[in-house]
Amino acid sequence: MAYQDNYQKWVDFNQLPDYLRKDLEAMDEKTKEDAFYTNLEFGTAGMRGYIGAGTNRINIYVVRQATEGLAKLIETKGDEAKNRGVAIAYDSRHFSPEFAQDSARVLAEHGIKSYVFESLRPTPELSFAVRHLNAFAGIMVTASHNPAPFNGYKVYGEDGGQMPPADADALTDFIRAIDNPFAIEVADFEAAKSEGLIEIIGEAVDAEYLKEVKEVNINQDLIDKFGKDMKIVYTPLHGTGEMLARRALAQAGFQSVQVVEAQAKADPDFSTVKSPNPESQAAFALAEELGRQVDADVLVATDPDADRLGVEIRQADGSYWNLSGNQIGALIAKYILEAHKQAGTLPDNAALAKSIVSTELVTKIAESYGATMFNVLTGFKFIAEKIQEFEDTGNHTYMFGFEESFGYLIKPFVRDKDAIQAVLIVAEIAAYYRSRGLTLADGIDEIFKEYGYFAEKTVSVTLSGVDGAAEIKKIMDKFRTSAPADFNATPISLTEDFLELTAKDKDGQVTTLTTPPSNVLKYTLADDSWIAVRPSGTEPKIKFYIATVGQTLEEAETKIATIEKEINDFVG
């Protein structure tokens, strides 16, 4: 159907809420096309988009359509699945409570039970709640670290991980089969509560989650001696981390925690930051200001749904160093393995997991402790699948999993990124280096000296709308058919195509990859540097990942700058 027809269908629907009708009336032709030329798609972790009217926007009708698809999927699983129900949580964004409530109303209309949090809660707690309540699925209403105009909707499977590919594909088919989202029937919220189809949850689940969180820290004596009065600045960036992070830190014994109070209030406009993204140093401006006032050792920030963690560490000159996601991952991996080794609790079959676009520095760290590293596709659900595999077979013991995009999981009572857990372990790591008369900056320097100077950079290019989707495809096709033979005057030694599931070495020998198919290309160079290219699964972006190794950090970063320029020249 042409975008004009889709637009007219919305205009003709006489029960459209006023705010959506005003949105329609304000659209120029280009906005109409972008809002109606396609349906908002499910990607690696659900769907995410601009809030507003349209099939390519997120609104109550798109949310109802997604939930109707989920209800139909659950119905194919039988009465037990319906009775086990769905856990639902939401973050601090515009319309998040409404989207959560409408999801519960759609499910209730199908006789499917839902457990809805009384107020905003972090994504990791939603993952935990699915497992704790033995629910069949979970829904998290969030747009993660995106700016205020966005919202999103993620679906979780019964293991507490983001829905795996088979069920996600079936869910997508059910959603696409719905011709008219305006015709989806919803139950009355209060009536469904009285009938027991909607149950409100909150503090009882919080308490159970926090009970599990107690097991995240490894060396309590260390915290008691060196972490108790260590100065930590925390900011939830106007999001859900405020619900649990302070309590978790206090419970663990970190008593000198200062919170950026201006950012502790839930605010859908994220009024103190341009974007609530803990990957960005700009988001730390107020935390740095407070850090200088109190002479803080470490600054930590969680994104609005508290699944990603950003970290800044004080340097010798008093300034703060904004760490990359890979550097945080390296610090955590090294500490977990070292602490368990010192305590005599490091298992012989220790295993870590990371995405294929995350640093190989952590692989070297893992190998130095006799641990195995498993590389998986981007999307934390693939790490969750590995955890389940380890538990089912007993062949490996999970120690840590991470993605370079600031996502970390220490203990698997959650099956997604968990910034609350990550805050606790980073605080303990700071205490560990303090016990040795060192700082976290010294700790990173130690890692580089022992394992090599690794540097990484992710370049995200936003290409929205019809033309943007075509341009992303064109770029992927160009890399796939005529990629350069070298980068930084260093030949490509291995080309991996995760869509075609082929790996071709420098001699032209081809082997088969064993991951599920995914539109990712990765080029490993003769000096162990690598480049990867992939479209984002949830945003209109194409991402370029560059990773290098050098004799010094400066040399590694110079290589990155050269390769980035070559990629820009190649893409044109």
In a shared domain, residues 76 and 110: yes
pLDDT for 76 equals 96
Q: What is the CATH number of the domain that holds 558?
A: 3.30.310.50
Mean pLDDT over 373-379 rounds to 94
Report pLDDT for 43: 66
Q: Which residue range forms the structural domain that includes residue 539? A: 453-571
pLDDT confidence band for 169 (50 / 70 / 90): confident
pLDDT tens profile 412-468: 999 999 999 999 999 999 999 999 999 999 999 999 999 999 999 999 998 877 788
Q: How sure is the predictor about 131, in pLDDT bands with cuts at 50, 70 and 90?
A: very high
Last residue of a domain, one of 432, 451, 470: 451
Q: Please tell me whether residues 441 and 462 are part of one structural domain.
A: no
Average pLDDT score over the chain = 95
The domain that holds 400 is classified in CATH as 3.40.120.10
466 shares a domain with 447: no
pLDDT for 168 equals: 85
pLDDT at 58: 97
Judgement on whether residues 439 and 514 belong to the same structural domain of the protein: no
Quickly state the pLDDT bin for 237 (edges 50, 70, 90).
Answer: very high
Contacts of 95 (CB under 8 A, 6+ apart): 51, 58, 59, 60, 151
Kindly state whether residues 171 and 128 are assigned to the same domain.
yes
With bands split at pLDDT 50, 70 and 90, how would you rate the model's confidence at 264?
very high
Sequential DSSP letters for 208-243: HHHHHHTTT-S-HHHIIIIITT--EEEE-TTSGGGG
Do 485 and 523 lie in one domain? The reply is yes
Q: Which of 124, 64, 137, 123 is nearest to 92 (CA)?
A: 123
* Of 33-47, 219-233, 343-357, the least confident: 33-47
- Do 159 and 233 reside in the same domain of the chain? no
Q: What is the pLDDT of residue 467?
A: 82
Q: Report the pLDDT value the prediction gives residue 45, as an integer from 0 to 100.
A: 63
Identify the pLDDT of residue 1: 78
C-alpha–C-alpha distance, residues 260 and 238, integer Å: 10
Give the model's confidence band at 44: pLDDT under 50 very low, under 70 low, under 90 confident, else very high.
low
Q: For a pLDDT cut of 90, what percent of the chain falls above it? A: 93
Residues tagged active-site:
144
Same domain, 411 and 467: no
- Say if residue 220 is in the same domain as residue 201: no
**Helix, strand, coil proportions of the chain in percent (round to 5)?**
45, 20, 35
**3-state DSSP of 268-315:** CCCCCCCCCCCCCHHHHHHHHHHHHHHCCCEEEEECCCCCEEEEEEEC
- Same domain, residue pair 161 and 266: no
Matching residue, tokens 């990359």: 324
For residue 340, the model assigns a pLDDT of: 98
- Is pLDDT larger for residue 91 or for residue 45? 91
Q: Which helix (H) or strand (E) holds 59?
A: none
Q: Which two tokens stand for residue 245?
A: 């992070």
**In the predicted model, what is the mean pLDDT of residues 33-59?**
90
- State whether 248 and 371 are in the same domain: yes
Radius of gyration of the chain (CA): 24
Q: What is the pLDDT of residues 470-495, one digit of tens each?
A: 899 999 999 999 999 999 999 999 99
Percent of the chain with pLDDT over 70: 99
Q: What is the pLDDT of residue 474?
A: 93
Average pLDDT over residues 525-538: 91
Indicate whether 170 and 187 sit together in one domain. yes
Domain end residue (candidates: 406, 421, 451)? 451
Q: Which of 209, 239, 274 is the last residue of a domain?
A: 209
pLDDT tens figures, 312-369: 999 999 999 999 999 999 999 999 999 999 999 999 999 999 999 999 999 999 999 9
For the chain, how many structural domains are there in total? 3
DSSP letter, residue 332: H
Structure token digits, residue 404: 């370079």
pLDDT at 466: 73
Say what the pLDDT of residue 540 is.
81
Q: Give pLDDT tens digits for 203-214.
A: 999 999 999 999
Q: Which tokens belong to 197?
A: 């189809």
Q: Is the pLDDT of residue 42 over 90?
A: no
Q: For the segment 112-126, what is each residue's pLDDT rounded down to a tens digit?
A: 999 999 999 999 999
Report the distance separating Cα 35 and Cα 112, nearest Å: 31
